[in-house]
Amino acid sequence: SEVSDPSTILRRLDAWARDERPSYEQAFVDLCLPTLLAPLVRLALLCWRPLAAGDLAQQPWHRQLTSAAASLAGELAAADGAAGGEIAAGGRGEERAASDRAMLARRGALPARLACDLALPLLKHAVTHSWDVFSLR
């Protein structure tokens, strides 16, 4: 289903940002992304066993978010290249470039933010309740 896959959700939001940037920015979508994706990440983390599974970056949701950020960066770079890097009259091109950089920064930080907010407490709980200080292992 479309609403259960983070990469599909992000593709739809990227299309919205590309087609109707003012509307996208007025809705503060980038600021709402952690809240929007948190239930999907929580669902994925239900089966995650931090001490056994290990690397969080290998989780499907983390890979999807990272690849979506890379895809967005490629799309924005291609759009900038297609425009010839020209600055439109009235500084609109500079505003757009600044907006693109801010959107890329927020999107790039999204996997880390979700990991800190959702996975770190699980890891802390697992270490606190599973690690024996007096163990020789």
Q: What is the pLDDT of residues 96-117, one digit of tens each?
A: 888 888 888 999 999 999 999 9
Q: How far is CA 71 from CA 44, 64, 75, 77, 90, in A?
A: 22, 10, 6, 10, 29
Would the pLDDT of 69 be above 70? yes
Rounded to whole angstroms, the Cα distance separating 6 from 1 reads: 11
- Averaged pLDDT, 28-44: 94
Q: Are 115 and 42 in contact (CB under 8 A)?
A: no
* Number of DSSP helices (H) and strands (E) in the chain, helices first: 7, 0
- Output DSSP code: residue 86: P
**pLDDT over threshold 50, residue 50:** yes
pTM of the model: 0.80
Which letter, b or e, does each residue of 45-84 get, where b requires 16 or more Cβ atoms within 10 Å of its Cβ? beebebeeeeebeebebbebbbebbeebeeebeeeeeeee
